[in-house]
Amino acid sequence: MARLWTKFAGHGLCQLVVLLALSSSGTVQAQLGTFQPDDRSRGIQGVDPRLVQPRLLPPTPQFPQPNLPRWKMGIEGEDFDVGVRVTEVYRPTPASRAGIEVDDIIITVNGYQVGIVNGQLFDIGEEFQKRADSRGYVNLLIWNHRDRTLANRVVRLERSLIPNPPSRLSTLVGTVTYRERMALPPNSVVEVRLVDITDNPRFPRVLVDEVIENPRSVPVSFRLNFDGDEIDQRRIYAIDAQIWTQGRLQWSTATPVQVITRGNPNRSIDLMLTRSVVAPVFDGGFGR
């Protein structure tokens, strides 16, 4: 039996107690103490404090905004009073790439509790639209049904609407490989990104990326389509890549390969990855 105690500070001091009682069938029950719906984001244990600061602005209007991007993760779920229990995971989707499985429970999105809170439904799909940043990243608090632990996981959602076609489509093609004479492990995932490294090479701006699931062997071919009108000849662009296997980083580019501008190549790009010394758990996109 595991307990998660959470203290909330709102207009007054109140306390949320989430009791996770694990039965032999693996189901989860919850008992909620005094709780104010407006405070459901504050003080969740294990959530980055920057994501759970008090929100003092009035709620955003609940009217459709058709031109804004919409986000999806690729799951079906069941709402109840602890969170949202995953009932199906589609592939390939952000959920499958992040290692989310059936019977996992998503408790919060960016620190906001989802599911049924004090009799009120907070739909996880709506929370994705509200909480995702401009590139689709969200921080999820997930109860893992396999080892029965709580952990934060950053996931990059996919756009659910087809964006307007670029006015000038350009393409970068190439391959990803590594020096070791060994087979590519099964169930590997390769991610290749075109990034702008001008302002901050450590945390570049991503223009486009491609995720290749279960490639048979190296070299792995990739194809990045991007809008040529977004390229500024004064800026510096590069390609980087990573290979993940069963949720752990295995290979990555030691230094991004500069492309397109300043005399750098803009056609066939061959990336040679190096073995990762530390293998962090896969969080849905380049360790963020």
pLDDT tens track for 138-153: 999 999 999 999 999 9
Nearest in space to 137 (alpha carbons), one of 97, 94, 193, 92: 94
Q: Would you say 237 and 260 are in contact if contact means Cβ atoms under 8 Å apart?
A: yes
Q: Facing residues of 4 across strands? A: 18
Convert the pLDDT of each residue in 54-84 to its tens digit: 333 344 444 444 445 578 888 998 888 889 9
Structure tokens at 199: 């302002």
How far is residue 75 CA from its own chain's centroid?
A: 13
User: What's domain 71-159's architecture?
Assistant: Roll (2.30)
pLDDT-derived band at 236 (thresholds 50, 70, 90) equals: very high
What φ, ψ does residue 92 adopt, rounded to 5°? -85, 130
Query: What is the structure's pLDDT at 244?
Result: 93
| 126 phi, psi to nearest 5 deg | -65, -35
Please state the domain extents for the chain.
Answer: 71-159, 169-275
Least confident of 11-20, 220-229, 249-258: 11-20
Structure tokens, 246: 């069963």
Check residue 69 and give its pLDDT.
Answer: 52
Question: Could you tell me what percent of the chain has a pLDDT over 70?
Answer: 69
- Amino acid (1-letter code) at residue 205: R
Give the amino acid at 261: T
What pTM, to 2 d.p., does this model score? Answer: 0.44
Rounded to an integer, what distance in angstroms lies between the CA atom of residue 288 and that of residue 273?
Answer: 20
Per-residue confidence band for 168, with pLDDT thresholds at 50, 70 and 90: low
Residues 6+ apart with CB under 8 A from 19: 3, 4, 29, 30, 31
Query: pLDDT band at residue 269, thresholds of 50, 70 and 90?
Result: very high
Question: Looking at the domain that runs over 169-275, which CATH code has it been given?
Answer: 2.60.40.2990
Region 5-9 average pLDDT: 34
